[in-house]
């Protein structure tokens, strides 16, 4: 039998040998999942002997992770904005980069002088954007839209899990959207079709292609949003879009053509262009 600490190190080695980039983080996530142990508890108990059954389970999951299954598909969850989201092969795994998009909308909403704000999250997937906005903006009315019924099933479970009220609608982009919103937010698929091939195995093999593929030039969904979102935005409302790090100029141009004003580019934590934020004041 080995100690908890030596077992965790063994897991890290196994993942490193398998070429897993975030071996240390992933070994810990699997360890936490199997042993139901916080970091603090682990530090106190690190020299204690590890339970045999759990040891076996942990090594089994490390072997599974070594085959490039995303760690989130093994543990079933991903943290986003301090909340926990269920994930599976039907939804994009929430990315930390997307948090800046949520933060920007929360900041904008805080300056509106009313808490009564309506928000549409287009391509909601796991619902991570819609649900965290509903969580932070307690009085907002939030709607999440997606073409995939299976994604919406997961989004509904996530809303319930996090104790927020969100409406979810199945629609191909704006087809079944009605009414007017103060905010339209979206993290649409934006990878160029030909670049999907070069993504990490975890993404390419296990995340839904429909959540990644932005068409030939990666801009397909931004074109639809630039053309259609304005019909559903209130005057003075805002449009907040996540973008690929090299898409700021092209997406800005699409929005300018559609008459959006005061277009702002916001960077993510690593310093890459990540969000295009625009307001609408049609005359």
Q: Which stretch binds ligand GLN (CB under 6 A): 64-72, 186-194, 227-235, 254-262?
A: 186-194
Classify strands 118-122 and 181-186 as parallel, antiparallel or unpaired. parallel
Asked whether position 11 contacts ligand GLN by CB under 6 A, the answer is: no
Residues touching ligand GLN: how many (CB under 6 A)? 13
By CB under 6 A, name the one of 55, 98, 132, 247 that touches ligand GLN.
Answer: 98
By CB under 6 A, name the one of 62, 105, 123, 173 that touches ligand GLN.
Answer: 123
Alpha carbon distance 207, 60 (integer Å): 22
Q: Which stretch binds ligand GLN (CB under 6 A): 58-66, 67-75, 120-128, 257-265?
A: 120-128
Alpha carbon distance 214, 67 (integer Å): 27
Q: Which stretch binds ligand GLN (CB under 6 A): 21-29, 126-134, 233-241, 263-271?
A: 126-134
Asked whether position 237 contacts ligand GLN by CB under 6 A, the answer is: no
Q: Which of residues 65-84 bind ligand GLN (CB under 6 A)?
A: none
Asked whether position 158 contacts ligand GLN by CB under 6 A, the answer is: no
Q: Is 270 annotated as a binding residue?
A: no
Number of H helices, E strands in the chain: 11, 9
Distance of CA 12 to the CA centre of its chain: 26
3-state secondary structure of 173: coil
Alpha carbon distance 10, 70 (integer Å): 19
Alpha carbon distance 265, 198 (integer Å): 26
By CB under 6 A, name the one of 187, 213, 237, 273 that touches ligand GLN.
Answer: 187
Q: Is 158 annotated as a binding residue?
A: no
Q: What angle in degrees, to the nearest 10, is found between the helix axes of 23-35 and 52-66?
A: 140
Asked whether position 94 contacts ligand GLN by CB under 6 A, the answer is: yes
Alpha carbon distance 278, 191 (integer Å): 22
Minimal CB distance residue for ligand GLN: 125
Q: Is 33 annotated as a binding residue?
A: no
By CB under 6 A, name the one of 8, 23, 30, 211 that touches ligand GLN.
Answer: 211
Q: Is 146 annotated as a binding residue?
A: yes
Please enumerate in sequence order all residues whose Cβ is within 8 A of that of 69, keeping only pairs 6 or more positions apart, or say none. 202, 206
By CB under 6 A, name the one of 7, 74, 87, 92 that touches ligand GLN.
Answer: 92
Q: Which is nearer to ligand GLN, 14 or 128 (CB)?
A: 128
Q: In the 3-class helix/strand/coil scheme, how is 147-160 assigned residue by residue?
A: CCHHHHHHHHHHHH
Asked whether position 125 contacts ligand GLN by CB under 6 A, the answer is: yes
Q: How many CB atoms lie within 10 A of CB 197?
A: 7
Q: Is 190 annotated as a binding residue?
A: yes
Q: How far is the CB of 122 from ligand GLN (least distance, A)?
A: 8
Using alpha carbons, select from 13, 26, 41 the residue that is nearest to residue 74.
26
Q: How far is the CB of 145 from ligand GLN (least distance, A)?
A: 10
| Burial class of residue 236 in the structure, from the number of CB atoms within 10 Å of its CB (0-12 exposed, 13-18 middle, 19+ buried) | exposed
- Chain residues binding ligand GLN by CB under 6 A are 92, 94, 98, 123-126, 128-129, 187-189, 211
């Amino acid at each position: 039998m080995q100690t908890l600490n030596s077992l965790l190190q063994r897991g890290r080695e196994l993942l490193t040998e398998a070429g897993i980039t975030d071996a240390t983080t992933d070994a810990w996530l699997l360890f936490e999942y199997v042993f139901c142990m916080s970091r603090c508890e682990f530090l106190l108990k690190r020299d204690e002997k590890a339970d045999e059954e759990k040891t076996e389970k942990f090594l089994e999951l490390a072997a599974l992770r070594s085959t490039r299954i995303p760690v989130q598909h093994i543990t079933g969850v991903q943290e986003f904005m301090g909340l926990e989201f269920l994930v599976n092969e039907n939804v994009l795994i929430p990315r930390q980069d997307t948090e800046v998009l949520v933060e920007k909308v929360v900041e904008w909403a805080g300056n509106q002088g009313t808490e009564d704000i309506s928000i549409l999250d287009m391509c909601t997937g796991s619902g991570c954007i819609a649900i965290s906005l509903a969580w932070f903006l307690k009085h907002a009315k939030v709607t999440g839209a997606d073409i995939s019924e299976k994604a919406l099933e997961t989004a509904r479970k996530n809303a319930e899990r996090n104790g927020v009220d969100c409406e979810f609608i199945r629609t191909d982009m704006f087809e079944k959207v009605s009414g007017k919103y103060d905010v339209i937010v979206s993290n649409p698929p934006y990878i160029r079709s030909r670049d999907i091939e070069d993504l990490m195995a975890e993404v390419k093999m296990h995340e839904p292609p429909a959540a990644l593929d932005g068409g030939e030039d990666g801009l397909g969904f931004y074109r639809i949003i630039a053309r259609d979102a304005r019909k559903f935005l209130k005057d003075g409302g805002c449009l907040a879009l996540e973008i690929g790090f090299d898409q700021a100029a092209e997406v800005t141009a699409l929005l300018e053509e559609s008459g959006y004003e005061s277009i702002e580019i916001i960077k993510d934590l690593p310093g890459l262009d990540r969000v295009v934020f625009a307001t609408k004041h049609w005359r």
